[in-house]
Structure 1
């Protein structure tokens, strides 16, 4: 059973490597630059939104704590 499992894992790795190689060669360097810029902008927007959400959550919970202490 171990040999069968190892064979399946090796086949999966080769299949994944094929698709990764194909994806990397499908786009030109200029297109990869655009993908990088868009990815950076999206990551920055998600980070900004998470930061705002945590600040809102923190302010809401601090307000509740201050009210309950009175």
Structure 2
């Protein structure tokens, strides 16, 4: 009996979520959704760029600190 209650609750929540999603999707026209997609793509691309720059800078700073502490692993000119 307990499993049936979980199933009924899940179905009710799913139907409610579907109804809300349908209302949100029908609120904008297809042209407006295209604009939303373009803007979202630009935002995601910029976010990716800034995250990439942040981690590249972290790696560069770590490499500089390692070189200052330990020196180069291979000395140039020594063969």
Give TM class, smaller chain: over 0.9
CA distance, structure 2, for counterparts of residue 56 and residue 38 of structure 1: 27
Q: How many residues align?
A: 70
Unaligned residue ranges in structure 2 (runs of 5+): 72-79
RMSD value, Cα: 0.8
Report runs of 4+ in structure 1 exceeding 2 Å deviation.
Answer: none
2: CA distance between counterparts of 1:65 and 1:23?
52
Q: Give the corresponding residue for 1:8.
A: 9
Partner of 1:22: 23
Which of these two proteins has the greater Rg computed from alpha carbons? 2
Counterpart for residue 61 of structure 1: 62
**CA-CA distance at 1:60 after TM superposition:** 0.7
CA drift of 1:68 comes to 1.4
Q: Which consecutive residues of structure 1, in runs of 5 or more, have no partner in the other structure? A: none
